[in-house]
Amino acid sequence: MKTRAEAQKLGDAALTLLGDAGKGWHVRVWENLGWHANLVSPCGRMKVHWNTFPENGTSYIAYLGDADSPGGYWTGSASTPQAAIAKAVEAGRAELKRVQELMQGW
């Protein structure tokens, strides 16, 4: 993205795609060798980034992790932000189940 305004506009469009599920989310815009934007959940633990490719359209990746980190422990990618979020949550739950199974009997 070439300008802050362009990054904000793309962020606002992504936020609109979340619909009612996006209540309380906000667009974060920053500059680092170009303008970037992502969506951040109200608690800060889920972040959604996107990439747009002329030949494939837009893909979304969700990161679930600590509120003060730029990324996350679990990720999910999909063609919609909702599906990416669902996959990140699913990955976190699968890891939790695996750890619970490992800890049985200890």
How do residues 15-39 score in pLDDT, each as one tens digit? Answer: 998 888 888 999 999 999 989 999 9
The Cα 35–Cα 9 span in angstroms is 12
pLDDT of residue 53: 82
Which band of pLDDT confidence, cut at 50, 70 and 90, is reported for residue 103? very high
Which band of pLDDT confidence, cut at 50, 70 and 90, is reported for residue 49? very high
- Residue located via tokens 């815009």: 29
pLDDT of residue 55: 83
Which band of pLDDT confidence, cut at 50, 70 and 90, is reported for residue 91? very high
- What sign does the dihedral 85-90-91-97 (CA atoms) show? positive
